[in-house]
């Protein structure tokens, strides 16, 4: 596995593979867990050369505290990627990606103002910017993203469609702890007890999924989820919505099951967690 810190180095390494091999990119912000490693596994299956990037992107943090507290575990991450047989890792410093304050703005419209966009204003603009940069730097044939950030996946899909990036996107299913808790870099900030309690997000999603498969009305489901979270002393429900995946607008009634997702966000202590399920997969 080769680690490249600069754009020039990575480009020169990849140039030998461009014409003959499929390049697979796994963009990450590090603090790698099994969810990321399942992306590497998927990339190794679909591409000849796998490139992971590790870059904590300041542009997507609307909360400066969150940026400071974001876990950084580079040495450990590299060991995990090596064991997962990743070929290249791009680990740029902030100055390499943003040599000056970027003037280009990427805004992908109303989908970015729903759910996560509402709670984290500007977040998806920052994601759109850095992912565009990574796509230009790496020029992958395929890029891999986790379902855990479902809205992010659909925002990036819009970016690829509207800016004609010649890149296939693959969404990889969420990896979960035995309790159902979705794996996330933020789980590193939770105690064992908090982790146990946080599995309520998944329990809520499963309950909602069962209710919505039996009846398409959303209001009773919202009520049931609010009651469930009222029983938890530590978890603060931020949002629970049933959405149309084409625009992430909340629905009052399920119309097309195959385009419906159930999304949830909650805070435990100072840690914000999100999760989702597609109504049918």
Residue whose CB is less far from ligand PAF, 87 or 149 = 149
Q: Is 57 in the site for ligand PAF (CB under 6 A)?
A: yes
Interaction with ligand PAF in 143-162: which residues (CB under 6 A)?
149, 152
Shortest separation between residue 107's beta carbon and ligand PAF, angstroms: 16
89 binds ligand PAF (CB under 6 A): no
Stretch that binds ligand PAF, among 22-30, 74-82, 110-118, 262-270 (CB under 6 A): 22-30
**28 binding ligand PAF? (CB under 6 A):** yes
Cα gap 41→165, rounded to integer Å: 23
Q: Decide: is 27 part of the binding site for ligand PAF (CB under 6 A).
A: yes
Q: Residue 150 and residue 245: Cα distance in Å, rounded?
A: 9
Binding-site member from 42, 89, 131, 237 for ligand PAF (CB under 6 A): 131
Of 25, 26, 1, 2, which Cα lies nearest the Cα of 12?
2
Active site residue 48: no
Residue 243 to residue 261: CA distance in whole angstroms: 5
Question: Is the Cβ of residue 31 or residue 225 nearer to ligand PAF in the bound state?
Answer: 31
Q: Which residues neighbour 233 within 8 Å (Cβ) at sequence distance 6 or greater?
A: none
Region of 4-12, 25-33, 101-109, 215-223 interacting with ligand PAF (CB under 6 A): 25-33
- Read off the tokens for 273: 């967690």
116 binds ligand PAF (CB under 6 A): no
Of these, 38, 50, 60, 184, which contacts ligand PAF (CB under 6 A)? 60
**29 binds ligand PAF, rule: CB under 6 A:** yes
Q: Is 174 in the site for ligand PAF (CB under 6 A)?
A: no
Q: Smallest distance from the beta carbon of 47 to ligand PAF, in angstroms?
A: 17
CB of 78 to ligand PAF, least distance (A): 16
Number of residues located near ligand PAF, criterion CB under 6 A? 10
Q: Taking CB under 6 A as the rule, does residue 26 contact ligand PAF?
A: no
CB of 259 to ligand PAF, least distance (A): 22
Does 40 help bind ligand PAF (rule: CB under 6 A)? no
Nearest residue (CB) to ligand PAF, 150 versus 277: 150
Q: Known catalytic residues?
A: 36
Which residues form the interface with ligand PAF (CB under 6 A)? 27-29, 57, 60, 127, 130-131, 149, 152
């Amino acid at each position: 596995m080769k680690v490249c810190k600069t754009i020039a180095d990575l480009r020169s390494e990849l140039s030998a593979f461009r014409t003959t091999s499929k390049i697979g990119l796994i963009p990450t912000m590090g603090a790698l867990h099994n969810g990321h490693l399942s992306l590497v596994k998927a990339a190794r299956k679909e591409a000849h050369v796998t490139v992971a990037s590790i870059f904590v992107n300041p542009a997507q943090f609307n909360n400066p505290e969150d940026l400071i507290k974001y876990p950084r575990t580079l040495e450990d991450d590299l060991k995990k990627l090596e064991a997962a047989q990743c070929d290249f890792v791009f680990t740029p410093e902030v100055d390499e990606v943003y040599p000056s304050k970027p003037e280009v703005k990427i805004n992908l419209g109303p989908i970015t103002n729903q759910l996560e966009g509402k709670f984290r204003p500007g977040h998806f603009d920052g994601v759109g910017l850095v992912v565009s940069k990574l796509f230009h730097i790496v020029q992958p044939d395929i890029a891999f993203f986790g379902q855990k950030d479902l809205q992010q996946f659909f925002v990036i899909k819009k970016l690829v469609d509207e800016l004609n990036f010649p890149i296939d996107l693959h969404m990889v299913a969420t990896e979960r702890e035995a309790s159902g808790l979705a794996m996330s870099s933020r789980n590193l900030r939770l105690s064992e007890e908090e982790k146990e309690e946080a599995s309520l997000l998944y329990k809520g999603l499963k309950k909602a999924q069962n209710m919505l498969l039996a009846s398409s009305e959303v209001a009773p489901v919202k009520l049931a989820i609010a009651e469930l979270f009222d029983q938890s002393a530590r978890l603060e429900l931020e949002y629970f919505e049933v959405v149309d995946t084409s625009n992430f607008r909340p629905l009052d009634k399920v119309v097309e099951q195959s385009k419906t997702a159930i999304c949830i966000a909650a805070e435990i202590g100072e840690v914000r967690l999100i999760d989702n399920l597609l109504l049918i997969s």
